[in-house]
Structure 1
C-alpha cells in the first residue's frame, strides 16, 4: 500500500510536503476532506503523474530541478519477492532503503516528522515489510529519486553495499508492482467504462491479456524461404515490411528523394502488445455496457457514477488472483448523486477496499461518510501558508472526534441525518442505527433478510448512535405530525454499558417512527429498554444475546485460526458451560467453564482480547458462517428488532 507521499512544487503543494495517506496496515481506504482549493485532488493527480505519466501540474514560477513526486510504500516482503524477479543485489538495495526509513528519527528531519509518528504508532514489523520511498523529478521522469531530503544519502548508502547498482530498477519494480487507476470528477463515466479503455484494461484479468500475446507469439507458422516455424507477429511484420519496400521502390522510381521511413529512435516493427491493443479495441468496442436495456450514457450522471463503482467492484472481486496491488483513486464519488444515494455509494466503496490487493483513495465533500465508514483513514486538509493534514482512523472515530475541526464534526452529522431523511422519503427505506461493524454482521444475519428495504448503519460507538437520534428527533417531531414521515421506521440501538448513557429527548407520539433503546439481557429475557436512569440495569453487549453453542464454536474458531498460540493455550483452559442459557462470558453464569482454578487467573487476558474491536469483527464473521447452518432459529433480541420494523 501507499503509506504517504512526499511532494514538492506540485500545484498547491509548494516546497517540500509530506502527505499522510493511511495510518494503519489494515486500513486500505483513505479519504481526503477539506475546502475547495486545499489540494485534495492534487494528491490523486500527483500519483497519476508518477504511475501513469499524467500531466505534471508544476507550481508556477518554481524551479524545475527542485520539483519531485515521491510515494512512500509499505509492502510485504513476500509479495515483492514472489511477484518480481529480484536478484540478491536488488534485495540488498531494498533492505538498505527500508532500514534507513525504519531507523529515521523524528528529530532528524522536520518534513518527515509526521511520517515517523505514524510509523511508530503503526508498530510495523521490519522483518515482514519493506518500507520504501521512491520517486521521480520533473526533469527526468524515468530516473529514480529519493526526495531532496534523502536522495544523495540513500544513493551513497546503496552504492557502498552494492557498487554500481542502478537504482532505476527500484523505480521500475514499484511501477510494475502497482496498477494505478485514477478517475477525476470531470471524467466521462461512459468513456471510462468502455472495456477497451485504459482504466478497464488495468482492472482486467492479466491472464486474458497474456493469452492474446501468447497466441501472437506462439510459433505455429512456417516462413516461406526457410520453412522454419515462426510466430504470427513475425509473419505480419515480414509481410508489411515487404509491402513497404515495394511502395518505396515505386515512389522512388518517380523521384529517388521520396520514401516512407521510420524516424530514428522509433521502433520499426509491430510488437505483440501493439497488436493486442488493437485486438482489444476492435473486439470490445462493439460491446457496450447497458443497464435495463439502456446505454450507460443514457442514464443520469448520478446513475453513471454508481455504475462506475459497481463495475469496478465486479472486476476486482472477479480478479482475486491479480498480481500486484490495484490502487483505485476516485475524485468525489458523490458527484451528481442525490443526497439520499450517498450513503450506499460510500458503503460500496468501503466494500471495494476490502477486496484482496486493493487500496482505495478518494476525495469528498460529503462529510456524512465520516461516521458511517468503519474502516479506513480520514485525512482532513486545512489551508494556510502550508497545507496542514491531520489523520484519523475511522475505526476509533468516536474517540478522536474531539480533535476534529468544528465544521467537520458538525457537517458529518448534519449531512448524514439529511441523507437518512431523504432516503426515507424517496426510497421508503427503514434504518437500523447501531454501534459497530460486529453489531452490523449479527443484525445482517438475523434481521436483514426479514425486513424489506432495511439499511443497517454502524456509526462507531454508543455516543454517535445517541447523537444521530437527537439530530433526527427535531425533524421527526415536526414532520410526523404533518404526516410526511408517518410511515418511516428508524431504530437506534445501543449496548447497556457499565456507565449508563441517556438522552432527554423523548416523545411517545413518534416512538413508532423513531425510537432509541438499549439492549438488556437477563437470564430470563431480552428487552429493549428506554434510555432512562434507574431501575434494573444489567450491562449487556450484543455478544451476550446470541445462540450460546454457536457463539462458543465461533469463539473457538476465531481464537484457534486467527489468534496467537498463547491466547489459544489460554482458551484451552476453559470448556463450554452447557448449562448456560445465554452467550455471556463475563458473569458468574459464564458460557466459559474454567477447567481448573488456574484458568481463573487467565480469564482477564481472554476477556481483554475479546473486547478488541478487530477481534469482535473477526468473531462476528465466524459466527455468521457457522450460524448459516441453522436458518430457522432467531435469537429473541433480533425477533424484537424484526417485530419493531414489521408492525
Structure 2
C-alpha cells in the first residue's frame, strides 16, 4: 500500500512537498478546492508505478528557474508492505528482499534529518504508522525516480544510506547506491498494479478488452490467453501452407519472387497482434437495458452514466478478483463527476467496499457526502497557501466529525472551508438521501468515538443487514445541530422517508434543551439514563425529559460482568482499580456497569479519574478491551441490555 508521497517540481508542486495519503487503511481521499493539486498526486503515482518517466509535467516556475544540477524534479512514493507479501523464493528475489529489509529498518529507525516542513511531516507520519504496524512484520520503503533518469531515488534519505558497503561510517557515493540497488525499483513496483482513471477518461476506449487497464483489472494477459488457445503446430502449419502458396505465385511470375526484408515467416507475436486487432477491437462494452430492449453502447450513454460505467466495470472485476497476483491500487479522479447527488452515494460506497478485498482505493473529490459512509479510511485536505506553496492536512475518517470538532478547539474555530462547512452540509445531505432510498441506510448518531467502538459490535448484525452506520460527532451540541438540520426535511410530506436516524447522547448533570418531536417515526432523540426507581436499570428516555440524576455515560450502561472483567485488565496500571476489584464483589441484582459494585464516593471518584486519565483516551482503551472480551465464548451469550434491544427494535 502507498501511505504517502514526496513530490518535487511536479505540476503545481514547486519545491519538495510531502503528501500523507493513508495510515495503513485501504480507502484514502484527497479533498480541496480546484487547482490545489489533488489530481496531480494521482498522476504522479501513475508516472512512477507505470514507468512514464519521460512524460512528467514539470512545474513552470521551476522550469523558468532551471531544474538542472541539484534542483531536479522527483517523485518518491512511500510503501507499507507486509513482509510475507514480498517475493522471496527465487535466489534473485531473496537478495532484493534482504536489501528491502535493510532499507526498511533504516527508515523505521532514522528520522529524516533535513530541517524542512516536509521532513518533519514525514517523521510524524512514520511515528503514526509505528502505533499500528510492527517493523518486524512490515516494510516501510521509499522507492522513487528522478525526472528523465532511470536511477532509483530515496528522497531525503539518498545521502544517508550508510548501511551500504563495508564501511558504514562512510556515506556511499551515488554510483555505489545505484549498483547496490540495481533491479530494486522494478522488484518493488512489480508487486503492484496501479489503475488510474482521470476525470476525462474515455469510457469507450478504456473498457476495450485489449487495453492495459482492462488486462490489469482482469489480472490476465490477453496475449498469454491467445497463445494458450493456439494449438501446438498451428503456427508451423500456417507458415508451411502460406509458403507453398507464395511458391506457386512465384512459379507463375518466373522473373520475380516475394521475400521478407527482416523475416520470411509469421511469428507468434505477429499472429497474436492480428487476432487482437481482428477479434477484440470489434468488441464494444454495452449497457444491458432493464426493460429488455436493445443494448446501448457505452459511447451513447450520458456523461454521468459513462462515469458510473467506469466505476461499475472496475468494481465488478476487482470484487470478483480476490486472488490477484499483484496488489491493485485503484485511483479515481472525481468519481462524482457528472452524477446526480443521489447516484454519488452508491458510487462512493462501491469504491469503499472494494477495500474489503484488500485493494487500495485513492480518490480525489469535491463531494464530501461520502465521509459518513466510510467506516475506516482517511482524508487529506490539500490547500494552497498565500505564499503559493501547497500544504496537506491528514485526518482519520473513522471518527471524522469528532476529529473536526477537536481540531476546531485547537484553532479556536478557524478551519478550512472545504471540510468545515462543506463537509457538514454534505453530511446532512448525504444522510437525507441515504434514508430516502428504497433500501435505506439507518443511523445512530452519538457523541464520542468510544460509543462507536461499542456499537459496532453490539449492532454488528444491523450494520451488515440493515445498512446501519454509527456516526460520532464529538459533542452533544454537534448531535443536536445535526438533529435540527434533519428535522425539517424528514417532516416534509413530500419526502418518503424509509430509514431511521437515532440521535443518542449521555445524561449530563445540567439539563439540555432540544426542540424534539417524539411523534416522528424516522427521527429519534434519546438520552441514556440509569433509573434509580427501577433498580438503576439503563433506559432510553426522550432527550427533554426532566430526569437528570444520576448523570449517565456509556461507561455506566454496560454489561456488569464484562465490565468487571475489563476493569481487571487495567489493575496492573492503576492501583485504585486493583483495590476496587479486590474488595468489591459484583452485586447479585446488578443491571449494568453503574450498579456493578457497591462503591463509596471516593471509589466512584477513582473510577471517574480512571476514565478521564490520558486526556480521556482511557475511554477508548477500555472500549476496545471491553468488546474484545465481549466476543469471547464465555461472554458472547450474555443477555443483551434492554436499551440495546430497544434500539434494535427501532431499526428493524
Q: TM-score, normalised by structure 2?
A: 0.72
Determine the C-alpha separation between the residues in 2 that align with 1:64 and 1:248: 61
After superposition, give the CA deviation of every residue in 1:168-199 in whole Å (9 maximum; x if it has no partner).
41111122100001111122345444444432
Equivalent position of 1:29 in the other structure:
27
Determine the C-alpha separation between the residues in 2 that align with 1:508 and 1:587: 32
Determine the C-alpha separation between the residues in 1 that align with 2:255 and 2:166: 59
Decide which of 288, 295, 300 is 1:290's aligned counterpart.
288
Q: Name the SS of the counterpart of 1:391 in structure 2.
A: strand
Alpha-carbon spacing, 1:618–1:300, altered in 2? closer, same or farther (3 Å)? farther
Q: How does 1:318-333 map to 2 (within 5 A)?
A: 318-333=320-335
Q: Name the SS of the counterpart of 1:6 in structure 2.
A: strand
Determine the C-alpha separation between the residues in 1 that align with 2:198 and 2:95: 39
Determine the C-alpha separation between the residues in 1 that align with 2:145 and 2:245: 40
- Correspondence 1:445 to 2:461: yes
Decide which of 131, 142, 149 is 1:133's aligned counterpart.
142
Q: Which runs of 5+ in 2 are unaligned?
A: 169-175, 409-414, 447-451, 567-572, 599-609
Deviation at 1:74, TM superposition (A): 1.5
Determine the C-alpha separation between the residues in 1 that align with 2:394 and 2:211: 34
Determine the C-alpha separation between the residues in 1 that align with 2:251 and 2:19: 61
C-alpha contact (below 8 Å) 2:8/2:74 kept by paired residues: yes
Equivalent position of 1:11 in the other structure:
11
Equivalent position of 2:228 in the other structure:
215
Alpha-carbon spacing, 1:291–1:57, altered in 2? closer, same or farther (3 Å)? farther
Deviation at 1:155, TM superposition (A): 9.3
Q: How does 1:538-557 map to 2 (within 5 A)?
A: 539=552, 541=554
Q: Name the SS of the counterpart of 1:200 in structure 2.
A: helix
- Correspondence 1:459 to 2:471: yes
Alpha-carbon spacing, 1:456–1:191, altered in 2? closer, same or farther (3 Å)? farther
Determine the C-alpha separation between the residues in 2 that align with 1:187 and 1:620: 48
Deviation at 1:496, TM superposition (A): 3.3
Q: Name the SS of the counterpart of 1:473 in structure 2.
A: helix
C-alpha contact (below 8 Å) 2:538/2:592 kept by paired residues: no
Determine the C-alpha separation between the residues in 1 that align with 2:137 and 2:129: 13
- Correspondence 1:121 to 2:154: no
Determine the C-alpha separation between the residues in 2 that align with 1:441 and 1:380: 30
C-alpha contact (below 8 Å) 1:327/1:361 kept by paired residues: yes
Q: Name the SS of the counterpart of 1:4 in structure 2.
A: strand
After superposition, give the CA deviation of every residue in 1:196-248 in whole Å (9 maximum; x if it has no partner).
44323212244x8697377369xx746xxxxxxxxx66x38966996999799
Q: Name the SS of the counterpart of 1:38 in structure 2.
A: coil
After superposition, give the CA deviation of every residue in 1:79-132 in whole Å (9 maximum; x if it has no partner).
113587644532342233223322332544524221111101221433222222
After superposition, give the CA deviation of every residue in 1:385-443 in whole Å (9 maximum; x if it has no partner).
22111111223434531436241222111111123334556769464233436525644
Determine the C-alpha separation between the residues in 1 that align with 2:620 and 2:134: 24
After superposition, give the CA deviation of every residue in 1:511-538 in whole Å (9 maximum; x if it has no partner).
4453211344666865322334643447
Q: Name the SS of the counterpart of 1:494 in structure 2.
A: strand
C-alpha contact (below 8 Å) 1:74/1:130 kept by paired residues: yes
Alpha-carbon spacing, 1:16–1:461, altered in 2? closer, same or farther (3 Å)? same
Determine the C-alpha separation between the residues in 1 that align with 2:223 and 2:259: 40
Q: Which runs of 5+ in 1 are unaligned?
A: 223-231, 557-565, 591-601
Decide which of 336, 340, 343 is 1:341's aligned counterpart.
343
Deviation at 1:12, TM superposition (A): 0.4
Equivalent position of 1:99 in the other structure:
105
Equivalent position of 1:483 in the other structure:
493
Deviation at 1:295, TM superposition (A): 3.6
Q: How does 1:428-439 map to 2 (within 5 A)?
A: 429=440, 431-435=442-446, 436=452, 439=455
After superposition, give the CA deviation of every residue in 1:260-298 in whole Å (9 maximum; x if it has no partner).
448xxxx99444995698299639936745353554726
- Correspondence 1:400 to 2:403: yes
Equivalent position of 2:360 in the other structure:
359
Q: Name the SS of the counterpart of 2:331 in structure 1.
A: strand
Deviation at 1:475, TM superposition (A): 6.3
Q: Name the SS of the counterpart of 2:29 in structure 1.
A: strand
After superposition, give the CA deviation of every residue in 1:480-524 in whole Å (9 maximum; x if it has no partner).
3x6335857643332537x56975331437644532113446668
C-alpha contact (below 8 Å) 1:204/1:315 kept by paired residues: yes
Determine the C-alpha separation between the residues in 2 that align with 1:581 and 1:303: 60
Equivalent position of 1:493 in the other structure:
503
Determine the C-alpha separation between the residues in 2 that align with 1:352 and 1:622: 29
Determine the C-alpha separation between the residues in 1 that align with 2:158 and 2:251: 56
Alpha-carbon spacing, 1:181–1:428, altered in 2? closer, same or farther (3 Å)? closer
Q: How does 1:7-406 map to 2 (within 5 A)?
A: 7-22=7-22, 24-25=23-24, 27-54=25-52, 55-60=55-60, 62=63, 63=66, 66-82=72-88, 86-110=92-116, 111-123=118-130, 124-140=133-149, 142-147=150-155, 149-151=156-158, 153-154=160-161, 157=164, 165=179, 167-206=181-220, 212=225, 215=228, 221=232, 235=236, 260-261=261-262, 269-271=267-269, 278=276, 282=280, 285=283, 288=286, 290=288, 292=290, 293=292, 295=296, 297=298, 300-356=302-358, 358-384=359-385, 385-401=388-404, 402-403=406-407, 405-406=415-416
Q: Name the SS of the counterpart of 2:152 in structure 1.
A: coil
Q: Name the SS of the counterpart of 1:400 in structure 2.
A: helix
Determine the C-alpha separation between the residues in 2 that align with 1:130 and 1:440: 30
After superposition, give the CA deviation of every residue in 1:295-342 in whole Å (9 maximum; x if it has no partner).
472654444544544443343232222223111101111222222333
Equivalent position of 1:599 in the other structure:
none
Equivalent position of 1:598 in the other structure:
none
Determine the C-alpha separation between the residues in 1 that align with 2:343 and 2:630: 27
C-alpha contact (below 8 Å) 1:20/1:391 kept by paired residues: yes
Determine the C-alpha separation between the residues in 2 that align with 1:399 and 1:106: 31
Alpha-carbon spacing, 1:194–1:386, altered in 2? closer, same or farther (3 Å)? same
Q: Name the SS of the counterpart of 1:321 in structure 2.
A: coil
Equivalent position of 1:530 in the other structure:
542
Q: How does 1:614-625 map to 2 (within 5 A)?
A: none
Q: Name the SS of the counterpart of 2:86 in structure 1.
A: helix
Deviation at 1:373, TM superposition (A): 2.4
Alpha-carbon spacing, 1:374–1:11, altered in 2? closer, same or farther (3 Å)? same
Determine the C-alpha separation between the residues in 1 that align with 2:101 and 2:440: 53
Aligned length: 582
Deviation at 1:59, TM superposition (A): 2.0
Equivalent position of 1:421 in the other structure:
432
Determine the C-alpha separation between the residues in 2 that align with 1:36 and 1:268: 52
Alpha-carbon spacing, 1:49–1:616, altered in 2? closer, same or farther (3 Å)? farther
C-alpha contact (below 8 Å) 2:511/2:548 kept by paired residues: no
Q: Name the SS of the counterpart of 2:124 in structure 1.
A: helix
C-alpha contact (below 8 Å) 1:18/1:115 kept by paired residues: yes
